[in-house]
């Protein structure tokens, strides 16, 4: 037997079935027309944003990094909950535009921005977080050619990293950002060139559950920004402090203590140095805002025994939920939170392997899990599917096609 990850708070059974946003899984599937289906809950998105507003200092802006979930109805809904958006490609910027979101509200980070992407973003008055000196030169040249004043910020590659983060994106040699010691000279150059100076972006890592690590990193970020602003010799209009707030995926993971993070940040904000006194401050979150609000529903197609083990074979799999299969940045595969949605309040009575329909042994959703007995036709729910699901999985692999998505 192997443990399953913890099911996020807020999911209940209605008539014995998992309900999402108050509606039974089977009803949602009937409305969508078929499985596999991602369901995202407005109530949970709203609740998560409200919890952050309650705990973070009022002055702190909260941005949504849309690579976690760029589903158009989700973007439209998030627009009412956050203070800004962060994108990592012109394609993401276009998606925001289609959702009716003003690009002037957006910042664009990411290594390897093509000229066409820079041109599109500059023309739309989006802030560009420059990732290299070469990118700065290209952005300035494109803006001059178009006769517009670009809004430019610099993404810093800091010398520290976010301790305990699942994915490190700062510290040491990195493809992200500009090494901190080279930032002041570049900032002075782009200010002298007449760009609208938008400040600094310091993102150090992702998926951290340890409040102390985040508190320490935020203190380091503020100290570094203060020092760099001093060396640049110009006020810092804006500081994107990064994010990194994680969610529990696996057995033994405990939720991040945002109360502690918010309290520590409030203390810092009460004694900001002069260089940051008038700076607009924000964090950028992806999975923390949307991850727990999503559930992936898939139907059992076959049930069979092999060498004494039970296999529940579903119509879903890693082509929609790569992360749950353990193939998206994990070293040792562990089970995500998962349940038999159509027997959500039943007691576990058997050990089963839940797998996808792809012809590869990598396509596993749960190994040796303790579950209620499930038959062909029952629905399986994989939780924590609101972030890095539909768009972070190889939907074309093996030709089964994409999953449906709905916001309820």
Instruction: Using CB under 6 A, list all residues that contact ligand PLP.
Output: 65, 67-68, 86, 88, 109, 203, 206-207, 243, 284-288, 387
Question: Which CB, 203 or 344, lies closer to ligand PLP?
Answer: 203
Pick 153 or 354: Cβ nearer ligand PLP: 153
Please give the Cα distance from 105 to 103 (Å, whole number): 5
CB of 158 vs ligand PLP, minimal distance in Å: 13
User: Residues with Cβ < 8 Å from 268, sequence gap 6 or more?
Assistant: 218, 219, 222
Provide φ and ψ at 402, rounded to 5°.
-75, 165
Q: Which is nearer to ligand PLP, 292 or 363 (CB)?
A: 292
**In whole angstroms, how close is the CB of 129 to ligand PLP at the nearest point?**
8
Q: Which two tokens stand for residue 267?
A: 């203390």
Q: Shortest Cβ distance from residue 261 to ligand PLP (Å)?
A: 13
Considering 126, 282, 357, 359, which one is annotated as catalytic? 359
DSSP secondary structure letters along 311-377: EEEES--TTT-HHHHT-SS-SS--PPPEEEGGGTTSPP-EEEEEE-SSSSTT-EEEEEEEE----TT
Beta bridge partners of 17: 14
DSSP 324: H
Instruction: Tell me the closest approach of the beta carbon of residue 40 to ligand PLP, in angstroms.
Output: 15
Instruction: Report residue 129 as tokens.
Output: 């977080």
Q: Which is nearer to ligand PLP, 203 or 383 (CB)?
A: 203
* DSSP annotation string for 286-323: SHHHHGGGEEEEEEEEEEEEETTEEEEEES--TTT-HH
Give the nearest distance from C-beta 387 to ligand PLP in angstroms: 6
Judge contact between 140 and 194, C-beta under 8 A.
no
Can 282 be counted among the known catalytic residues?
A: no
Token reading at 280: 């607009």
**β-pairing verdict for 17-20 and 12-14:** antiparallel
- Distance, in Å, from the CA atom of 112 to the CA atom of 149, rounded to the nearest integer, reads 22
Secondary structure (3-state) at 397: helix
Residue nearest to ligand PLP (CB): 286
Decide if 298 contacts 36 (C-beta within 8 A). Answer: yes
What is the DSSP secondary-structure string of 100-163? T--GGGEEE--S---HHHHHHHHHTT-EEEE-SHHHHHHHHHHHHHHT---EEEEEEE-S---T
Least gap, CB of 286 to ligand PLP (angstroms): 2
CA gap 27, 29 in Å, rounded = 5
Please identify, using beta-carbon distances, which residue of 69 and 353 lies nearer to ligand PLP: 69
Question: Which lies closer to ligand PLP via its Cβ, residue 249 or residue 288?
Answer: 288
Closest approach of ligand PLP to the CB of residue 65, in Å:
4
Q: What angle do CA 10, 11, 16 make, to 5 degrees?
A: 145
If the CB atoms of residues 88 and 395 are measured against ligand PLP, the closer one turns out to be 88
Q: Name the residue among 258, 232, 237 with its Cα closest to residue 247.
A: 258
DSSP lists the bridge partners of residue 62 as 283
The residue among 77 and 288 lying less far from ligand PLP, judged by its C-beta, is 288
The least CB distance from residue 109 to ligand PLP, in Å, is 5
Where in the sequence numbering do the catalytic residues fall? 359
């Amino acid at each position: 037997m192997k443990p399953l990850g913890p099911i996020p708070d807020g999911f209940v059974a209605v008539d014995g079935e998992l309900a999402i946003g108050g509606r039974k899984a089977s009803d949602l599937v009937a409305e969508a027309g078929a499985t596999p289906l991602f369901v995202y809950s407005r109530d949970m998105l709203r609740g998560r944003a409200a919890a952050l507003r309650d705990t973070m200092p009022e002055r702190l802006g909260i941005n949504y990094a849309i690579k976690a979930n760029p589903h158009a109805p989700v973007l439209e809904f998030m627009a009412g909950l956050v203070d800004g958006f962060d994108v990592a490609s012109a394609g993401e910027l276009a998606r925001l535009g289609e959702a009716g979101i003003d690009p002037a509200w957006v910042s664009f980070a990411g290594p390897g921005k093509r000229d066409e992407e820079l041109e599109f973003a500059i023309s739309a008055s989006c802030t560009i977080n420059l990732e290299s000196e070469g990118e700065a030169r290209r952005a300035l040249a494109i803006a001059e050619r178009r006769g517009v004043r670009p809004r430019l910020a610099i993404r810093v590659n800091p010398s520290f990293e976010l301790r305990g983060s699942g994915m490190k994106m700062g510290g040491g040699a990195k493809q992200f950002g500009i090494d901190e010691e080279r930032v002041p000279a570049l900032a002075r150059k782009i200010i002298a060139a007449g760009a609208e100076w938008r400040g600094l972006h310091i993102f150090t890592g992702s998926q951290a559950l340890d409040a102390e690590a985040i508190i320490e990193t935020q203190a380091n970020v503020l100290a570094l920004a203060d020092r760099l602003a001093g060396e640049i010799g110009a006020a810092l209009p804006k500081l994107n402090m990064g994010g990194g707030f994680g969610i529990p995926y696996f057995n033994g993971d405990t939720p991040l203590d945002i109360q502690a993070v918010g309290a520590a940040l409030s203390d810092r904000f009460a004694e900001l140095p002069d260089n940051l006194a008038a700076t607009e401050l924000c964090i950028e979150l992806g999975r923390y805002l949307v991850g727990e609000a999503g559930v992936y529903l898939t139907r059992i197609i076959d049930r069979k025994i092999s060498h004494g083990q039970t296999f529940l074979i579903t119509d879903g799999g890693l082509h929609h939920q790569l992360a749950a299969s353990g193939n998206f940045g994990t070293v040792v595969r562990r089970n995500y939170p998962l349940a038999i949605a159509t027997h959500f309040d039943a007691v576990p009575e058997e050990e089963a392997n839940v797998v996808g329909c792809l012809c590869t042994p990598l396509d596993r959703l749960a190994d040796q899990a303790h579950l209620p007995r499930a038959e062909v036709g029952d629905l399986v729910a994989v939780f924590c599917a609101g972030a890095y699901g539909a768009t972070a999985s190889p939907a074309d692999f093996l030709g089964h096609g994409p999953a449906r998505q709905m916001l309820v």
